[in-house]
């Protein structure tokens, strides 16, 4: 504040009465806000209805928020819909900063994502990517295309669920219903930017449109499923393994861990965090990686050459092999820069704070716009081009220290699933590039593949990603010997898939 007690506020575009800047968000808010930042600068203060929202669009200012003033901005959103969808912010994802958040974070990391646990998940990742390869090979024998969008969703969910629940959730009826429901949840998240959310006196609009009823119904349905998951784990026999995240959480809930208070709702909230934060984020990133590889055949070829050279004579890719694949890591980093899946993540101010001379009030929502940061010419040469080589002789990494590349956030609330996500992406991509040559169906050329986005929990492809094996690799169609190989593979796949 200046000596006259007047606040020095960040630049703001003009607002409309009542709705503030809501009318300027459009269907893809990250792009609209990027455009506004080019006019008003990298730190802007908007109004969504009555709610002040600070939009951050440069690496320097992101560093101020997530490092210098991390503690002041360590809260999450204060909005109604996210609160309802996330068990009243009882879990880790939505919890306000404080002792309970710290305890939950320790439990989450220690019981699910510690270094020791991560090492033990390598075998899960290898098995699941191996299975994906088999499924794809099987599909290529019977159909000409595979829908990678669906395949990635199932894969990433199976990986995280085997780690957290001890088995695949997608195979159970409850799991299928829950995952189906998540799509609806995404729709609800993307509709959060409603008038009723930000202007309390217009809250009735959300009743009238049926938005609140749909939201409450969704919350009830998902809760019923998670209740059933808890009951299943509680009723395990004495001889069954109780070594997974859900069992450990239930142990803490029953009071086996002194000093930690985790009620039933918190257990469900933490499981919902795993399912909500750990599935679509990774599958969306995989979709974008494959999209850009198809659009850039020379990059794909260079990646395949690296992987096939390292794997010469070997089929089974291990984490040891992945360590040597530097171009693979560069491709993944470039995808995080160009298509961050969590494109604008929310923080909220806990107290009055001065950022670069600007006064920010408590409860101000903060949106870190990764889309804008990834396209900032101050940080990146030719930011509009997909060039993995930019990372080959560079130390820039995504682990929260280089603020031009923070797809997993930074500071106290950095994503705890970072290593799990990055490793599972490496396993998947290395296998897909090692085992198959890829093309688009119907003779379409790579550069014709669209990059149209859909706003939701993540920014994903609007259209699915159907892919086929390139003609040069259709070996099973060529001769009797290959036909025999094909049939054998088919039989193996059938055994494996139990169908
Ligand atoms: C490519 C995949 C992923 C991306 C891009 C991603 C991105 C993010 C981002 C940007 C945040 C907010 C960080 C901040 O505020 O500074 C976050 C938080 C979080 N992520 Fe991830 N994530 C991914 C995968 C995962 C996985 C696999 C899990 C594991 C279950 C996970 C669990 C969480 C949780 C629980 C939080 C909340 C942490 C807290 O508030 O303390 N994420 N993630």
Q: Is the CB of 281 under 6 A from ligand 1?
A: yes
- Whole-number Å distance, alpha carbon 470 to ligand 1 midpoint, is 35
pLDDT of amino acid 478: 40
Choosing from 271, 275, 277 the residue with most ligand 1 atoms within 8 A of its CB, the one to mutate for a pocket test is 277
pLDDT of amino acid 425: 98
Distances (CA, A) of 413 to 345, 351, 354: 11, 17, 20
Query: How do the pLDDT tens digits run along the chain, 499 residues long?
Result: 655 678 899 999 999 998 999 999 998 999 999 999 999 999 999 999 989 999 999 999 999 999 999 999 999 876 778 888 888 889 999 999 999 999 999 999 998 999 999 999 999 999 999 999 999 998 888 877 899 998 999 999 999 999 998 889 888 888 888 878 877 777 777 766 677 778 878 878 888 888 888 889 989 998 999 998 899 888 888 788 778 899 989 888 887 666 677 899 999 999 999 988 888 999 999 999 999 999 999 999 999 999 999 999 898 999 999 999 999 999 999 999 999 999 998 899 999 999 999 999 999 999 999 999 999 999 999 999 999 999 999 999 999 999 999 999 999 999 999 999 999 999 999 999 999 999 998 888 888 899 999 988 789 999 999 888 886 665 444 434 444 445 445 554 554 444 3
Q: Is the CB of 196 under 6 A from ligand 1?
A: no
Q: Is the CB of 103 under 6 A from ligand 1?
A: no
- Whole-number Å distance, alpha carbon 413 to ligand 1 midpoint, is 8
Counting Cα atoms < 13 Å in the Cβ hemisphere of 183 gives 6
CA distance 8 to 3: 11
DSSP class of residue 42 equals: S
**For the chain, domain boundaries:** 22-497
Q: Is the CB of 277 under 6 A from ligand 1?
A: yes
DSSP class of residue 9 equals: P
pLDDT of amino acid 479: 39
Q: Is the CB of 336 under 6 A from ligand 1?
A: no
Which option is the CATH number for 22-497: 1.10.3720.10, 1.10.630.10, 2.120.10.30, 1.20.1050.10? 1.10.630.10
Residue nearest to atom 27 of ligand 1 (CA): 278
Choosing from 89, 155, 408 the residue with most ligand 1 atoms within 8 A of its CB, the one to mutate for a pocket test is 408
Closest ligand 1 atom to residue 164 Cα is 30
- Whole-number Å distance, alpha carbon 343 to ligand 1 midpoint, is 12
Q: At a CB cut-off of 8 Å and minimum separation 6, what does 253 contact?
A: 262, 263, 264, 266, 267
Q: Which residues pair with 46 in a beta bridge?
A: 53
Q: Is the CB of 105 under 6 A from ligand 1?
A: yes
Rg (CA), the chain: 24
Helices 211-234 and 245-253 pack at an angle, to 10 degrees, of 90
If one counts every other C-beta atom within 10 angstroms of the C-beta of residue 449, the result is 17
Q: At a CB cut-off of 8 Å and minimum separation 6, what does 422 contact?
A: 332, 398
- Whole-number Å distance, alpha carbon 436 to ligand 1 midpoint, is 30
- 8 A C-beta contact, residue 366 and residue 65: yes
Q: What are phi and psi of 43, to 5 degrees?
A: -130, 115
- Whole-number Å distance, alpha carbon 369 to ligand 1 midpoint, is 15
CA distance 414 to 496: 38
DSSP class of residue 56 equals: E
Helices 326-338 and 418-435 pack at an angle, to 10 degrees, of 120
Q: Is the CB of 409 under 6 A from ligand 1?
A: yes
List the one residue out of 54, 35, 120 whose CA is nearest residue 345.
54
């Amino acid at each position: 504040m200046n000596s006259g007690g007047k606040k020095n506020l960040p630049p703001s575009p003009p607002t409309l009465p009542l709705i503030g800047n809501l009318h300027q968000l459009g269907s893809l808010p990250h792009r609209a806000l990027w455009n506004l930042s080019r006019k008003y600068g990298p730190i802007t203060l908007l109004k969504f209805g009555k709610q002040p929202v600070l939009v951050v669009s440069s690496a320097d200012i992101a560093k101020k928020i997530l490092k210098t003033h991390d503690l002041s901005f360590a809260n999450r959103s204060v909005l109604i819909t996210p609160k309802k969808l996330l068990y009243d912010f009882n879990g880790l994802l939505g919890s306000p900063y404080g002792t309970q958040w710290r305890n939950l974070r320790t439990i989450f990391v220690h019981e699910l994502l510690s270094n020791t646990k991560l090492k033990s998940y390598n075998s899960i990742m290898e098995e699941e990517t191996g299975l994906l390869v088999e499924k794809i090979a099987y599909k290529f024998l019977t159909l000409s295309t595979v829908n990678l969008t669906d395949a990635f969703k199932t894969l990433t969910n199976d990986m995280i669920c085997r780690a957290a629940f001890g088995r695949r959730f997608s195979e159970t009826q409850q799991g299928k219903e829950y995952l189906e429901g998540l799509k609806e949840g995404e729709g609800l998240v993307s509709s959060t930017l409603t008038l009723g959310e930000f202007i309390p006196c217009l809250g009735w609009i959300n009743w009238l449109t049926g938005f609140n009823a749909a939201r409450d119904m969704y919350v009830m349905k998902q809760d019923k499923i998670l209740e059933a998951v808890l009951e299943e784990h509680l009723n395990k026999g004495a001889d069954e393994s109780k070594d997974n995240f859900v069992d450990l959480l239930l142990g803490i809930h029953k009071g086996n861990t002194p000093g930690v208070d985790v009620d039933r709702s918190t257990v469900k909230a933490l499981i919902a965090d795993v399912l909500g934060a750990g599935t679509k984020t990774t599958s969306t990133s995989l979709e974008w990686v494959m999209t850009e590889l198809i659009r850039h055949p020379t990059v794909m070829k260079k990646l395949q050459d690296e992987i096939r050279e390292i794997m010469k004579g070997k089929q089974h890719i291990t984490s040891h092999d992945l360590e040597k694949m530097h171009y693979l890591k560069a491709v993944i980093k470039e995808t995080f820069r160009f298509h961050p899946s969590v494109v604008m993540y929310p923080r909220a101010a806990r107290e009055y704070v001065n950022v670069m001379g600007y006064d920010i009030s408590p409860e101000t929502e903060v949106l870190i716009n990764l889309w804008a940061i990834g396209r900032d010419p101050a940080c990146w040469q030719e930011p509009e081009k997909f060039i993995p080589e930019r990372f080959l002789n560079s130390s820039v990494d995504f682990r929260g220290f280089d603020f031009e590349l923070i797809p997993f956030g930074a500071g106290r609330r950095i994503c705890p699933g970072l290593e799990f996500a990055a490793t599972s992406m490496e396993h998947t991509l290395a296998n897909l590039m090692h085992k198959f040559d890829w093309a688009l169906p119907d003779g379409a050329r790579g550069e014709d593949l669209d990059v149209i986005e859909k706003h939701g929990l993540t920014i994903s492809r609007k259209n699915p990603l159907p892919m086929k094996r390139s003609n040069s690799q259709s070996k099973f169609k060529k001769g009797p010997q290959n036909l025999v190989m094909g049939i054998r593979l088919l039989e193996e796949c059938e055994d494996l898939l139990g169908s």
